[in-house]
Amino acid sequence: MLLQNKTIAIIGGGPGGLTLARLLQQKGGTVKVYERDLNRNVRTQGATLDLHENSGLKALISANLLDTFKTRYRPGAEKGRVLDKAGNILYDEHETSGSEIDFDSPEARPEIDRSDLREMLLDSLAADTVVWDSHFASMVQADGQWEITFKNGKTALADIVIGADGANSKIRPYVTEIQSSYAGITILQGNVENAKTKAPRMYELLNGGKIYTHSEGKYLHISAKGDGSIDFYVSSKTDENWAKDNSAIFSDRTQLNEWFKTTFTAWNSVYFELFENVDLPMLIRPQYCIPFDQTWEAQSSITLLGDAAHIMAPSGEGVNLAMLDALELCECLTNPKFEDLQTAIAAYETPMFQRAAEEVTTSCEMIEWMHGDNAQEKLINLFKEMGE
């Protein structure tokens, strides 16, 4: 077995890294996950995620976690409404079908809050698998192992390092010099707690699901969460330095409200509920993507998965791709047909490159149509085709 007497260090405790840890432990692997968060409860874990039959759900099935997932997913949360800027409902998925998910269907898109998915994966791991407060600083190779140093001064040794540390991966430079480039859009992300009280009209419009509004080159995506909050983001085409030049606006309530009223002139007041009650500061996230033709030479003791390997603008596939990467990497590392680790890692990376290239192409195409003049019409037609 390639992993016999090998210690595996996964840098990053997101869905991809935790899925990989679970899968490797099922195969007898010795795994540690090093996560920069101080503990499992220190940080809010974003909005809802929809898992797909041929990727995220496939990984959960291999991890023997599908039954647990079925107790935690949110029926009906995948249903959306398309609204115009005046607040009129143009298309309503709530009227098209029931709320139960057919998990045997290729079209299944069950939703789960990111925090619930993380908790489920954490609970599936052996005790002490995750080493908290482990913010990666550097690593060097010594005597056939990686010596990893963290910002708290602690160190760890590993035979294999997996970079699962997201868009700003600190492990990626040890694998490749290829850098991502600005994708042309910036996302503002915010959360409104206790939405039923603070944003009652928007809460009612959401009906436990999602809202999509495209207008004037802006895309507003709103999601209800299981904790009673609303998560939302605004995506628009901006200069790469826009976030840096305007960061002060989104940590000050007065400036934020003035910016919203100026930027969203003629939008219905129901949207004001979000910005007037959002927790501050809002997150400002310029979006980046990898080159279409990204490849590198496989190494014998290090590789990447998820956003660390193939960052791209949101396309609905990010977490799903990370979990599929985890599944395929585990299968390669534990497959007895491979004679050495470098061959196994190369077998994982080759289809990962192709998959990422196809998805980054889709992602760039989505940027164009989602911020175009006829985005609303295209989205409605897409929903209708999916419904049929």
DSSP annotation string for 296-332: ----SSEEE-THHHH--S--S-HHHHHHHHHHHHHHH
What is the arithmetic mean of pLDDT over 109-135? 95
Rounded Cα gap, residues 287 and 313, in angstroms:
6
Residue 177, pLDDT score: 96
The predicted pLDDT at position 45 comes to 60
Q: Quick count: other Cβ atoms within 10 Å of Cβ 106?
A: 8
pLDDT of residue 41: 85
Residue 201, SS3 per DSSP: helix
Strands 7-11 and 160-163: parallel
Q: Alpha-carbon distance 269 to 276, whole Å?
A: 10
Distance in angstroms (rounded) separating the CA atoms of residues 50 and 221: 14
pLDDT on residue 43: 63
Structure tokens at 10: 């996964």
Q: What is the pLDDT of residue 5?
A: 94
* Dihedral-angle region of residue 12 (phi above 0 means left; psi in -120 to 50 means alpha; beta otherwise): left
Residue 36 annotated as lining a ligand binding site: no
**109 has binding-site annotation:** no
What number is the average pLDDT over the span 64-86?
93
What mean pLDDT comes out for the span 241-253?
93
Q: What percent of the chain has pLDDT over 90?
A: 83
Q: What is the mean pLDDT of residues 259-270?
A: 93
50 is in an annotated binding site: yes
Mean pLDDT of all residues in 118-123? 96
**For residue 112, what are the β-bridge partners?**
49
Residue with tokens 């509004």: 213
Task: Please give the average per-residue pLDDT across 235-256, as a whole number.
Answer: 94
Work out the pLDDT band at 388, boundaries 50, 70, 90.
low
**8 Å CB contact between 143 and 4:** no
Token digits of residue 284: 């400002």
Report how far residue 190's alpha carbon sits from residue 235's, in angstroms, rounded to the nearest whole number.
12
Per-residue pLDDT at 1: 79
Round to whole Å and give the CA distance between 52 and 315.
13
| Residues pairing with 175 in the sheet | none
Q: Half-sphere exposure of residue 346, counting CA atoms within 13 Å on the CB side? A: 10
Cα–Cα distance for residue pair 165/172, rounded to 1 Å: 9
Tokens linked to 182: 């600005």
Where is pLDDT greater, at 315 or 258? 258
Mean pLDDT along residues 276-302: 95
Whole-number average pLDDT of the chain: 93
Q: How confident is the model at residue 300 (pLDDT cuts 50, 70, 90)?
A: very high
Amino acid symbol at 357: A
Query: If pLDDT is split at 50, 70 and 90, which confidence band does 316 have?
Result: confident
Write down the domain spans for the chain: 7-64+113-118+125-179+291-364, 181-289
Task: Say whether 307 counts as a known binding-site residue.
Answer: yes
Among 19-28, 104-113, 166-175, 282-291, whose mean pLDDT is lowest?
Answer: 104-113
Q: 335-373: buried (b, 16+ CB within 10 Å) or exposed (e) per residue? A: eeebeebeebbbbbbeebbebbbebbeebbebbeebbee
Q: What is the pLDDT of residue 106?
A: 73
Question: Token pair of 172, please?
Answer: 């990626």
Using the predicted structure, report yes or no on whether residue 324 has a pLDDT greater than 70: yes
Question: Considering only CA atoms, which of 285, 271, 288 is closest in space to residue 83?
Answer: 271
State in words which class domain 7-64+113-118+125-179+291-364 has. Answer: alpha beta
At 116, the pLDDT band (50, 70, 90 cuts) reads very high
- How buried is residue 123: exposed, middle or buried, by Cβ count under 10 Å (0-12/13-18/19+)? exposed
Could you tell me what percent of the chain has a pLDDT over 70?
A: 97
**Rounded distance between C-alpha atoms, residue 150 and residue 138, angstroms:** 7
Q: What pLDDT band is residue 330 in, cutting at 50, 70 and 90?
A: very high
Q: What is the mean pLDDT of residues 53-58?
A: 93
pLDDT at 387: 66
Question: Is-contact 28 49, C-beta < 8 A?
Answer: no
Rounded to two decimals, what is the model's pTM?
0.94
Mean pLDDT of 282-302: 95
When pLDDT is averaged across residues 337-342 and rounded to a whole number, the result is 96
The token pair at 37 is 């968060």
Instruction: Supply the pLDDT for residue 100.
Output: 67
- Could you read off the pLDDT of 166-214 as tens digits, one per residue? 999 999 999 999 999 999 999 999 999 999 999 999 999 999 999 999 9
Q: Is residue 163 within 8 Å of 304, Cβ to Cβ?
A: yes
CA atoms within 13 A on the CB side of 201: 10
Most confident of 45-49, 122-126, 382-386: 122-126
The answer to whether residues 300 and 341 touch, using CB atoms and an 8 Å cutoff, is: yes
Sheet holding 130-131, edge to edge: 130-131, 30-34, 7-11, 160-163, 302-304
181-289 has CATH 3.30.9.30 classification: yes
